[in-house]
Amino acid sequence: MLLRGVIAGGVATAAMTAAYSVERRARRAVGAPMDYDGGVVPGQIVLHILHLRDMGASEETTAGLLLRWGYGSAFGVRHVLLRRRLPEPAATAAFGSALMAMTLTMFPLLGHTTPPWKWPWPLLATCVGTHLVYVTAGAIADDRLVRVLY
């Protein structure tokens, strides 16, 4: 069960990272990050939680990617646990709702961003879209792994 969640979370994180890459190529003219998760804010949050000094954008982006891959696998385990209590698609809907609620609250609280209702529409759309990719890919991977492993 734990291994299944870690693998599903890794697949989901890879899909989310690919979605950012595709969107970045499609929107080359956009100079600012497409959303807070795809920029330096997650890295800044990590550095502040660990009481480390601020670094340059490159190092903060790297810290953010390490965070994404770390929590991505942990969230995959959470989806597996939800599936033990709820049937699909309720487990995935509950998981996606919790993930979005956490995303929309933690960036303002820990990253000192503006509240979500003040985010520009393209940024909000990217945030919702990439997290939808994450949740969908994780749910599909988990479902396939259930069939293969059991």
Q: What is the pLDDT of residue 32?
A: 64
Q: Taking the CA of residue 87 as centre, how many other CA atoms within 13 Å lie in the half-sphere pointing to its CB?
A: 0
At 57 the pLDDT is: 75
- 79 CB burial (10 A radius; 0-12, 13-18, 19+): buried
Q: Which amino acid is at 65?
A: L
Per-residue tokens: 78:
């959470």
Determine the pLDDT at residue 33.
66
Reported in sequence order, the residue ranges of the chain that DSSP labels E, i.e. its strands, are: none
- Give me the residues of the chain with pLDDT under 50, please: none
pLDDT in tens, 101-121: 999 999 999 888 899 999 989
pTM (predicted TM-score)? 0.87
Look at the alpha carbons of 62, 67, 72, 74 in this order and tell me if their dihedral is positive or negative.
positive
pLDDT at residue 118, as a whole number: 94
**Integer distance in angstroms from the first to the last C-alpha of the chain?**
10
8: closest CA among 147, 141, 144, 143? 141
Q: What's the token pair of residue 54?
A: 């601020």
Bond prior to 89 in cis (omega within 30° of 0): yes
- Predicted local confidence at residue 30, as pLDDT: 66
